[in-house]
Amino acid sequence: MNVLDLQQKLSLFDAKWTPKIIGALNGQEVKLAKLEGEFVWHSHADEDELFLVLEGELILRFRDREETLGVGQMLIVPRGVEHQPYAPKGASVLLFEPASTAHTGEVVDARTVTDPEWI
Characterize 76-90 residue by residue with b for buried, 16 or more Cβ atoms within 10 angstroms of its Cβ, and e for exposed: ebeeeebbebbbeee
Beta carbons of 53 and 59 less than 8 angstroms apart: no
Q: Which is nearer to its own copies, 6 or 107 (CB)?
A: 6
DSSP-assigned letter for residue 44: -
- Smallest distance, Å, CB 37 to its own copies? 21
- Smallest distance, Å, CB 111 to its own copies? 24
Output Rg (C-alpha) for the chain, integer angstroms: 13
74 binds its own copies (CB under 8 A): yes
Pick the stretch among 11-19, 32-40, 70-78, 84-92 that binds its own copies (CB under 8 A). Answer: 70-78
Interface mask toward its own copies for 20-49; x: CB under 8 A: ---xxxx-x-x----------------xxx
- Smallest distance, Å, CB 29 to its own copies? 11
Beta carbons of 35 and 55 less than 8 angstroms apart: no
DSSP-assigned letter for residue 42: B
